[in-house]
Amino acid sequence: MSRLKNKLDSLFFNQLFVSERKQIAFMADEKTHVRISHRLFAINRSEMGSSMRVKQFIKSILIYFDKVVFGQIDGKIPILAYHSITDQDSDISVSIDRFSLQMKYLYEQGFKTITNEQLLQLREGEKVLRQRKVVMITFDDGYKDFLDIAVPIMEKYKFSATVFISPELVGKKIQWNKNGPIFSLMNWSDINEVIQRGFEVGNHTLTHVWLKRIDSDNLKREIDGARVILEKRAGKIIKSFCSPYGVLGRKAKLFLYKNKKQIIYSGKEGLCNYKSKNLFYPRITIDNKMSFNDFCNVLQYRSIYFYSIRNVLGILKKDIPFLIGIRVLKKARVIR
């Protein structure tokens, strides 16, 4: 127990008052954690202002709590959700340099990518992974820069990925916002090349529709219709589905629940727990708003301040008024 306590204490002090650059260096050399943690604590404390120290202190406590309670839980896998890899200024893009740095970090930290087939096997109880550090990489919409930019970078590190395609948008140009950039989507020739180079294709509905707003007949057309087209084009069974805009709705969930031989990605944020009975897996959205430090923390399963706290607060916000109401009723009965 004392060895475990020392280990946890060292993890805590490593995060406390450590600048972003030095924290990244720590994660790359975990063997030096215990030896230099207290020295760094002393050095960095004098460098920071009081407000920064408070901010870092709170963040460090959350990371520490995450490590102890939620960290390294068996069955948890980070599934990264990208859209476009481009230097265009957009809410859905990641710059080329940032993406290159992220892939390099994954490789240097010893992460291996897994496929949807492997995730299905894990869900069914098969032991298909020898290494602990695993990650899934996914891309929504099928932009041309996936083939031109993302694929060569991932091939450099022997990473796999799934790209989600809406068949009726293939080969088109699209502008999501009125004043936003115009994106080019891959054509069928591009998609075939992606498949030949070892990347997976997933179902993203037929027309990239908002699933909550359509009836049952159109739901079948959007989901099954897209799957049939993609399977015909790819020449293989499509084993994954991702909802556009991160929205499913009750009807779509019931419709998708019937097919348990596929991976369904919901719009929720968080780590995927393949041991969970929930068939709708969350992902982690990666964009230019996410700092490199937060990217590293997510991959180290330090997600409490990113996801867990938000979920806990959501539960408390919903349940505390109910519990208070119960207590008030009990007191009222006693008074009567």
Record the pTM: 0.70
Degrees (nearest 5) of the Cα angle 162, 167, 171?
95
Same domain, 26 and 125: no
Residue 298 confidence (pLDDT): 84
Q: What number of CA atoms fall less than 13 Å from residue 125's CA on the CB side?
A: 1
pLDDT (tens digit, 0 to 9) for every residue of the chain, 336 residues total?
Answer: 545 444 444 444 344 333 333 343 434 444 333 333 333 333 344 444 555 566 566 656 655 555 544 444 456 889 999 999 999 989 899 999 999 999 999 999 999 999 998 888 888 777 766 566 899 999 999 999 999 999 999 999 999 999 999 999 999 999 988 888 899 999 999 999 999 999 999 999 999 999 988 888 899 999 999 999 999 999 999 999 999 998 888 888 888 887 767 889 988 888 888 877 678 899 999 999 998 988 988 887 644 444 445 444 444 444 444 444 444 444 444 444
Cα–Cα distance, 288 to 39 (Å, whole number): 33
Task: Answer whether residue 201 is part of any domain.
Answer: yes
Residue 269 confidence (pLDDT): 87
Residue 122 confidence (pLDDT): 84
Report yes or no: 170 and 213 within 8 Å, Cβ to Cβ: no
Residue 32 confidence (pLDDT): 38
Supply the CATH number for residue 83's domain.
Answer: 3.20.20.370
| Residue 112: domain span | 76-301
Same domain, 52 and 197: no
Same domain, 108 and 40: no
Residue 64 confidence (pLDDT): 54
Same domain, 47 and 100: no
Same domain, 57 and 85: no
Task: Answer whether residue 40 is part of any domain.
Answer: yes
Distance of CA 164 to the CA centre of its chain: 15
If one counts the domains in the chain, the total is 2
Residue 334 confidence (pLDDT): 40
Helix (H, G, I), strand (E, B) or coil at 306: helix
Residue 63 confidence (pLDDT): 54
